[in-house]
């Protein structure tokens, strides 16, 4: 299946927390979209890999994505090396997306920056015909996406562009809450983490409000680009 947009995440829930609204909005517009999780988030303080898998499946259903796969890289310890790059390249060539969305370029969790670098480098290498990968016993054709964008995670950054997600904000929050093991629960005996505090979800909404304010809408999601984007109609800018 060829996809229009493919989002990568170092951990299940990275995409939902950062750019679920953008994905939901483009699916509603008829674009085919998928998510590739690099790891199973098995080192997460709360929950476990099995729970995260169930939550990822629920979030995928809420968003309406076409495919979701997991590369089973080692949470916390995967490297930007040949083996991991080839795994990412296989996914890029398998789904042949026009746009790839990846982790934040730098962030509090080291896996996020590593995931960002890994996917970015793999996107370039995926376009080289002398890099050989196989899928289903057949050699894959080279493919390089038109653009790579990076979502913003824990560390706030100045976005290069912002997507208006006002109309899908409720569904965005529903997709985020699919990962209920990670968030505040007064009945839980698990340790508190950076995202399980009472105010974390308020912070997510506040950031979306701020990004929305910058473009004159209610809610927005910000992205960093690897190159200057171009447009052919200046009147389509908000």
pLDDT of 235 reads 92
Residue 102's pLDDT is 98
pTM of the predicted protein model: 0.96
Residue 185: its pLDDT value, please?
86
What pLDDT, on a 0 to 100 scale, did the predictor assign at position 188? Answer: 82
Q: Is the Cβ–Cβ distance between 236 and 218 less than 8 Å?
A: no
Q: Is beta strand 147-151 parallel, antiparallel or unpaired with respect to 220-225?
A: antiparallel
Residues shown for the chain = 238
**pLDDT reported for residue 63:** 98
Q: Among candidates 114, 124, 109, which has minimal Cα distance to 226? A: 124
Q: What angle do CA 160, 68, 179 make, to 5 degrees?
A: 80
pLDDT of residue 198: 86
**pLDDT for position 36:** 98
Residue 37 CA to residue 70 CA, distance in Å, equals 5
**For each successive 10 residues of the chain (238 residues), what is the average pLDDT?**
97 98 98 98 95 98 98 98 98 98 97 98 98 97 98 96 98 97 86 89 96 98 95 89
């Amino acid at each position: 299946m060829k996809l229009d947009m493919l989002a990568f995440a170092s951990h299940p829930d990275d995409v939902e927390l950062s750019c679920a609204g953008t994905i939901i909005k483009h699916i509603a517009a008829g674009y085919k979209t998928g998510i590739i999780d690099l790891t199973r988030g098995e080192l997460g303080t709360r929950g476990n890999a099995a729970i995260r898998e169930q939550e990822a499946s629920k979030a995928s259903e809420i968003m309406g994505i076409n495919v979701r796969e997991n590369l089973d890289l080692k949470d916390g310890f995967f490297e930007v090396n040949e083996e991991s790059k080839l795994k990412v390249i296989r996914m890029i060539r398998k789904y042949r997306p026009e746009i790839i969305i990846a982790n934040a370029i730098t962030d509090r969790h080291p896996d996020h920056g590593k995931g960002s670098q890994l996917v970015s480098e793999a996107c370039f290498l995926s376009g080289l015909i002398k890099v050989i990968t196989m899928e289903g016993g057949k050699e894959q054709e080279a493919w390089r996406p038109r653009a790579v964008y990076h979502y913003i995670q824990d560390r706030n950054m100045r976005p290069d562009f912002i997507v208006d997600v006002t109309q899908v904000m409720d569904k965005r929050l529903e997709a985020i809450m699919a990962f209920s093991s990670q968030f505040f629960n007064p009945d839980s005996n698990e340790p508190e983490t950076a995202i399980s505090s009472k105010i974390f979800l308020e912070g997510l909404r506040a950031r979306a409000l701020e990004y929305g304010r910058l473009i004159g809408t209610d809610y927005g999601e910000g992205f960093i680009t690897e190159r200057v984007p171009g447009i052919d109609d200046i009147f389509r800018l908000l």
